[in-house]
Amino acid sequence: MSTFIWIAVALLLIGVYLSWTAGRLDRLHTRIDAARAALDAQLLRRASVTLELATSGVLDPAASIVLYQAAHAARQAEEEQREVAESELSQALRAVFGEPAQVEAVLQAPGGEETAGELAAAVRRVPMARRFHNDAVRAARALRRHRTVRWFRLAGHAPFPLAVEMDDEPPAALVERAGR
């Protein structure tokens, strides 16, 4: 009888551990979903402000066309091409706002200070949102690699989480001058 009780206690403890681990994994997947939604919102905000600036007439025509095409491509990109399109938008922003003179021209235009401030805030938030998402992905991947999770299939049918790898470095001149 005593052996039966010890086996029952051991099975109960294993069951509690597996349930706790499955709950933790579920919370990590929920955190990934929330972080991905936040990242998508920041990317959309950055593209929207860029489009607004590109069509405002504040920039010279060549810069406007470069920013408009990159922002439009980022907003219209399919999920498979999204990281590439967002990286190209980052590169276009750095190309246009690489020189402080271009930032000053925007700041001097009517309403330019507000628009430049919005854009500076948007480009600063994208790397933070991507970092939060990738941290959640890293934690979920680490937990999913554990033998217990694999053997008991605690992840269920949830897809393996993927990190977002893209160029999101903001233009330094814009962040320094307009991001104050």
What value does the mean pLDDT take over residues 26-50?
97
What value does the mean pLDDT take over residues 3-14?
95
How much is the mean pLDDT over the chain? 94
Residue 37 has pLDDT above 90, yes or no: yes
pLDDT value of residue 178:
67
Residue 180 has pLDDT above 90, yes or no: no
Q: Which pLDDT tens digit goes with each residue over 158-168? A: 999 999 999 99
* Residue 133 to residue 164: CA distance in whole angstroms: 8
pLDDT value of residue 76:
96
Determine how many CB atoms are found less than 10 A away from the CB of residue 168.
25
Residue 131 has pLDDT above 60, yes or no: yes
Q: How many residues are given for the chain? A: 180
- pTM for the model stands at 0.91
CA 59 from chain centre, in angstroms, equals: 28
Residue carrying the six token digits 């990738």: 134
Residue 99 has pLDDT above 90, yes or no: no
Residue 100 has pLDDT above 60, yes or no: yes
Q: Which residues of 73-107 are buried (b: 16+ CB within 10 A; e: fewer)?
A: bbbebeeeebbebbbbbbebbbebbeeeebbebbb
Q: Which pLDDT tens digit goes with each residue over 70-81? A: 999 999 999 999
What value does the mean pLDDT take over residues 19-39?
97
The closest alpha carbon to 135, from 127, 146, 124, belongs to: 127
What value does the mean pLDDT take over residues 44-49?
97
How confident is residue 127, by pLDDT bands cut at 50, 70 and 90?
very high
How confident is residue 98, by pLDDT bands cut at 50, 70 and 90?
confident
